[in-house]
Amino acid sequence: MKVVKLILTTNSLFNEILSSQTANRTVKQQRIVIAAIRLFAEKGYSNTSTAEIAKVAEVSEASIFKQYVTKDRLLLSLVVPYIKEFFPSKANETINQIISKADSTFEGFIRAFLKNRIAFIVENREIFQVLIKEIIYKEELKNELLPYFSELVTPLMTKVIELFKERGELIDIPITRILKLIFTFIGGFVASRFVLLNQESINDEEIEDAIHFIINGIQKASFDNK
Amino acid sequence: MKVVKLILTTNSLFNEILSSQTANRTVKQQRIVIAAIRLFAEKGYSNTSTAEIAKVAEVSEASIFKQYVTKDRLLLSLVVPYIKEFFPSKANETINQIISKADSTFEGFIRAFLKNRIAFIVENREIFQVLIKEIIYKEELKNELLPYFSELVTPLMTKVIELFKERGELIDIPITRILKLIFTFIGGFVASRFVLLNQESINDEEIEDAIHFIINGIQKASFDNK
DNA sequence: CAATAAAGTGAGTGAGTACTTACTTCTGGT
DNA sequence: ACCAGAAGTAAGTACTCACTCACTTTATTG
């Protein structure tokens, strides 16, 4: 069995960290990670000094640099493993399972997908905030995540959309455009709630509204009003 | 005729700048504004030094502080007048005009609204980027803009939604929840295109997709699949 | 045109910045 | 019990930061 691990073609720091281990950390190194995530999430990367991280982690500043060499690499070391987890390869199986069921609906799929990913964000709220806040500034992060996203998520979602499109329920535009609409909304949804409004969770009512909005948004118009 | 100008109850720097004049600036002060917007948009507020702004504006650093006192106030002086323009009181008339027409459709309204606001963003792309990027970090900006938004935009939009809701075309949930869905999508739409992807414009095809998505998203389900 | 105010600046300043160095302490394998 | 290498640190380093001050230049006005 061949396992293809390499997804990105570029050889970057991003990939280096992707393949590095995050386990067997010392207690102090753990404290650095926790402190850094908390401070970066709260005040942003640029507004947090390494001195402050060291103080909160109750560790000498030099300990941070012994391990991470630069402040920049510290950020990447926090964010990259999170991204790795956010798009799990396991999702493939789950999706195949869902779409193999004959009675499965697109609504059910979207509900499962949304609730699952929101739960994941809630579990790791702070690091999600760091990611969203810093992806705007760090070109490297942006240029690596966007392809990573489109290469891992797009094929999976395309599969699902295709299935329901064949049933004729969905709007008659290319799948890439449907996906763009869905992810624009979901992106706006989680970013506004968890980053802008700093919510700790999202209640079910709002999630159901969102699901309805997405489902109807991409369905074939029931009446042409043009 | 009474003109009620005070919208916010708090007495803050935000309001002070809101009521201050932006006209009769010197040539050099104009250069400072242009340089600051460009640099803040490109690298972010925290990653831009006042020395760099002065250099790009070809002005002494002290000139910036003579006028704006602090770097923080410089940012607010750029962003607040933009916010002021973004939610124009004129919109009230326009909306009344639109909804007074008997043959007006919700789709037509959304199209006019979206295209108009997107055109405004395109015209002032850099300052829009500054606003979105910094609203995440500056609590003051956030805590002032959110009420400003809800007090100026919500009543107007509520009026429109109400009208079309009476016709029975829209989903049967409270208007505030409908508005939240619409603005979550539109927010995600403009933020992702203009800030994350740094696009200079949005083509008509994509705007039409967005309109369809919104219209269908909030319409009454044509078939109940529950 | 003189008086006054406003706009502008060169040369700082102290506080903070990411990062380094020379050294000590801890830990796991033999 | 020993010791090599990893983990940790106090005390720096060079440099950048927002901001100030004493002073000059330009614009306004009676």
Q: Give the start-to-end residue ranges of the domains of chain B.
A: 13-78, 87-218
Is the per-residue pLDDT at B102 higher than 70? no
In this predicted model, which residue has the larger pLDDT, B1 or A35?
Answer: A35
Instruction: Name the minimum distance, in Å, from the CA of B224 to any CA of chain A.
Output: 11
Is the per-residue pLDDT at B226 higher than 60? no
For the CA of A82 and the C1' of D8, the distance in angstroms is 27
> Which residue is closest, via its CA, to the C1' of D17?
B49
**What integer pLDDT is reported at residue A18 of this predicted model?**
57
Cα-based torsion angle of the residue sequence A11, A14, A17, A19 in order, rounded to the nearest 10 degrees:
-50
Measured between CB atoms, does A209 come within 8 Å of chain B? yes
Does the C-beta of B161 come within 7 A of strand C?
no
Scan residues 12-51 of A and list those with Cβ closer than 8 Å to B: 43-44, 46-47
Which residue in A has a C-alpha nearest to residue B173's C-alpha?
A209
Does the C-beta of B56 come within 7 A of strand D?
no
**What integer pLDDT is reported at residue A7 of this predicted model?**
37
Evaluated on CA atoms A196, B111, B211, B165, the torsion sign reads: positive
Does the C-beta of A26 come within 7 A of strand C?
no
Q: Would you call A136 and B196 a contact, using CB atoms and an 8 Å cutoff?
A: yes
In this predicted model, which residue has the larger pLDDT, B160 or B181?
Answer: B181
pLDDT tens by residue, A168-220: 778 889 999 999 999 999 999 999 999 999 999 999 999 999 999 999 888 77
Is the per-residue pLDDT at B5 higher than 60? no
* Average pLDDT of chain B, as a whole number: 85
For the CA of A47 and the C1' of C18, the distance in angstroms is 13
Q: Which nucleotide has its C1' atom closest to residue A64's CA?
A: D8
As beta bridge partners, residue A170 has A219
**What integer pLDDT is reported at residue A10 of this predicted model?**
44
Measured between CB atoms, does B210 come within 8 Å of chain A? yes
Is the per-residue pLDDT at B203 higher than 90? yes
∠ CA B100-B102-B108, rounded to 5°: 85
Rounded-to-integer distance, Cα A133 and Cα A46, Å: 11
Chain B residues with beta carbon closer than 8 angstroms to that of A44: 46, 136-137
Q: Would you call B222 and A222 a contact, using CB atoms and an 8 Å cutoff?
A: yes
- Contacts made by residues A118-121, CB under 8 angstroms, sequence distance 24+: A118/A190, A118/A202, A118/A207, A120/A85, A120/A86, A121/A190, A121/A194
In this predicted model, which residue has the larger pLDDT, B4 or A43?
Answer: A43
Average pLDDT of the segment spanning A154-166: 85
**What integer pLDDT is reported at residue A225 of this predicted model?**
40
**What integer pLDDT is reported at residue A197 of this predicted model?**
95
Is the per-residue pLDDT at A102 higher than 70? no
Chain A residues with beta carbon closer than 8 angstroms to that of B218: 213, 216
- Contacts made by residues A153-157, CB under 8 angstroms, sequence distance 24+: A153/A87, A154/A179, A156/A91, A156/A92, A156/A95, A157/A182
- Of A71-75, A217-221, B134-138, the range with the lowest mean pLDDT is A217-221
∠ CA A78-A79-A83, rounded to 5°: 135
- The two tokens of residue A48 are 């947090």
- According to the CATH classification, is domain A13-78 in 3.40.50.170? no
Q: Would you call A216 and B218 a contact, using CB atoms and an 8 Å cutoff?
A: yes
Average pLDDT of the segment spanning A2-8: 35
* Average pLDDT of chain A, as a whole number: 85
Residues of chain B above pLDDT 70, percent: 83
**What integer pLDDT is reported at residue A57 of this predicted model?**
96
Rounded-to-integer distance, Cα A188 and Cα A206, Å: 14
* 3-class SS of residue B219: strand
For the CA of A57 and the C1' of C29, the distance in angstroms is 31
pLDDT tens by residue, B61-72: 999 999 999 999
Confidence of residue A79 (pLDDT cuts 50, 70, 90): very high
- Of B40-44, B155-159, B163-167, the range with the lowest mean pLDDT is B163-167
Does the C-beta of B72 come within 7 A of strand D?
yes
**What integer pLDDT is reported at residue B157 of this predicted model?**
87
